[in-house]
Amino acid sequence: MVEQTDPDCIFCRIVRGEFGTAFVAESDTAVAIRDIQPQAPTHVLVVPRRHLRSLDEVKSEDRQLAGDLLALAAQVARQEGIVESGYRVLTNNGPDAGQTVFHLHFHVLGGRRLSGGLG
């Protein structure tokens, strides 16, 4: 059984409301928060309430959660008014891919022209 929460994890603590972080949007399974160091005019993180280290821990039995996360990302984009101009949803899996917080999250980026490169 994958742990549901990690007392030392910053995102678990945010999800629990320990720092009073505003949720841009939320669902039964996830919350959306503004990134503390935004890389674009809209930079929101979609974070599952449950502690999963990264996408690598998402298994087939988590397909409902995976769908919820993407649906919440799309909802955030609509709320932020960045659908017309285009936006990007991504997750960094592992340190070599740039992951720095080891609680699964999807970045929702938009509001400016995004670079064409992905690597």
Interface residues toward ligand 5GP, by CB under 6 A: 10, 33-37, 45, 92, 98-101
C-alpha neighbours within 13 Å on the C-beta side of residue 95: 0
Q: Which does 12 bind (CB under 5 to 8 A by kind): Zn ion, ligand 5GP, none?
A: Zn ion
Strand, coil or helix: 42: strand
C-alpha neighbours within 13 Å on the C-beta side of residue 110: 19
Binding residues among 5-24 for Zn ion as defined by CB under 5 A: 6, 9, 11-12
**Least distance to Zn ion from the beta carbon of 9, Å?**
3
Select from 30, 108, 12 the least CA-distant residue to 67. Answer: 30
Single out the residue of 103, 104, 107, 109 in contact with Zn ion (rule: CB under 5 A): 103
- 69 sits in which H/E element: helix 63-80
Q: Which does 51 bind (CB under 5 to 8 A by kind): Zn ion, ligand 5GP, none?
A: Zn ion
Give the contact letters, 31-70, x = binds to Zn ion (CB under 5 A), - = no: --------------------x-------------------
CA distance 74 to 87: 10
